[in-house]
Structure 1
């Protein structure tokens, strides 16, 4: 679709739809609702949308019903299969319910090829699709400080920038699928960083250091990272609650590996991290947060960081 069609929308779409009110989606949708937008929501488990309904959002009974009441629909769900169903299902999906000139924004982490397919399908019904996955975890979602990687028509992304800016920092990455590719690169970097973080913690522990003190010492040096900031203290408290689920991260890393295979690209750090995270799922820990990687490294070494970060040996 041409940028002239995108510009036929009001300068700032007011009627917003949201599909997916999980750990990330609930906070993100709340920011838009608080900004004064009319919000229609759908979640497979309706009770998870209750906090939004209490603030004035309307509940729809399907993604299509959300689209029928919205100028722009945001989607953030778990797996590419969920994205496909929510966006493209001929009976209940978002695209069949959109009016011409409307926009679908997928903020899930998904396959770049699926983002391209959705963009083509949207254009066929005179709509636009943007792939805009995010990074920053539950904390970034709550604070409206996510990094947003946007792919699609530039003018459409610019049109939506006032909405994106309620959620975090917008980064335009290129045409359809570019947002997803940027997010996959982000996940590759995080995966190896997390391995380094938990290995360093286990080393400090077995060396007899106070791990709390060690984390504070490295935070201001070259080893400082967003992963350390977000997860170091959580790990020390044995807080494995999910800001981002292990099983979703394994999904993301699997997409990364498939993309690498298609490109003939060897990334051994990525492959190792994916195997370590898979081991968590094998131990029934897929619903923990990604900081639970410490459990895999502890098992390999028959050790355990003491509660509160104090060394026990």
Structure 2
């Protein structure tokens, strides 16, 4: 199978998946390759893709049947398992196909997918990404990729300088990519926890959020400054008709994976334990339309302040 002959499919058009798939379709189109096939639980979310020349498929099974490479970007492990179980019904018709999951999933899920798909001659690649939805739209994600060498080399041209700026090679063990992604999320969420703590401290002591944020940017750079801005702009509790950047429910799921893996290796993640508890409390208090930075709202409550800031929404 030569690269130009590859038929590429995509499933999952949330805030990350839509930006990624749009960049992929633009690449295929500009190189006169077969258009991207796409599917989603709500197919209308792919209207922008269709306008770029991508072709919709009503069912995931049809997407799999008509594609050589199938990308998925979904929210939960059980959704991926359900999708792959649908694909596995095709049996030996899956031979030669490559499944590439770009989500944050438990390493056990990656191992299960590899085992089940290989029974029918198909390959599974774990390729979780680092970066927010704005980074996805800009095609600047970082991919952590693991899986069979030949399959990885086949899909590499679809990643670098198309959807991402770099690829971290994690070898053939698909568990390793999932573990690196979870490790990265430990850092991201822990950064958010300590930044939230500092902002609450700045408020109760009268330092001021603006000056603290200026310091964060000057001292630690634009990435941590962007985390701070999710707090100071009120994006931690966005309007109810606005999707959060990194949904609190997904962050809680990722933290649950990290904490359970740490426990199984007789180690602890104390900062993550605090962040997880605070985010669960935030969801109980303010509902599910929250960003992962809503740990800040819980911190405010613990300090005797309102959960809501002047720039966030003011209730449910």
Assess same fold via TM > 0.5: yes
Tell me how far 1:143 sits from its aligned partner: 1.1
Tell me how far 1:233 sits from its aligned partner: 2.1
Deviates further, 106-115 or 156-165: 156-165
Match of 1:273 in 2: 275
Q: SS where residue 148 of structure 1 aligns?
A: strand
Match of 2:257 in 1: 255
Is 2:295 aligned against 1:293?
yes
Alignment counterpart, residue 146 of structure 2, candidates 144, 151, 159: 151
Q: Partners in 1 of 2:298 and 2:18 — Cα distance?
A: 30
TM-score by length of 1: 0.88
Alignment counterpart, residue 228 of structure 2, candidates 228, 232, 241: 232
Q: Partners in 1 of 2:105 and 2:122 — Cα distance?
A: 20
Structure 1 gap segments, 5+ residues each: 1-8
Match of 1:140 in 2: 135
TM-score by length of 2: 0.87
- RMSD of aligned residue pairs (Cα, Å): 2.2
Q: SS where residue 170 of structure 2 aligns?
A: strand
Match of 1:71 in 2: 68
Q: SS where residue 174 of structure 2 aligns?
A: coil
Distance 1:229 1:71, change over 3 A: farther
Q: Partners in 2 of 1:280 and 1:192 — Cα distance?
A: 16
Q: Is the 8 A contact 1:136 1:146 kept in 2?
A: yes
Mapping for residues 9-158 of structure 1, pairs under 5 Å: 9-11=1-3, 14-35=6-27, 36=29, 37=33, 38-89=35-86, 96=91, 99-158=94-153
Structure 2 gap segments, 5+ residues each: 239-243
Match of 1:213 in 2: 211
Q: SS where residue 257 of structure 1 aligns?
A: helix
Q: Partners in 1 of 2:185 and 2:5 — Cα distance?
A: 31
Q: Is the 8 A contact 1:246 1:285 kept in 2?
A: no
Match of 1:187 in 2: 185
Match of 2:241 in 1: none
Q: Partners in 1 of 2:20 and 2:143 — Cα distance?
A: 12
Q: Partners in 2 of 1:263 and 1:160 — Cα distance?
A: 33
Q: Is the 8 A contact 1:12 1:159 kept in 2?
A: no
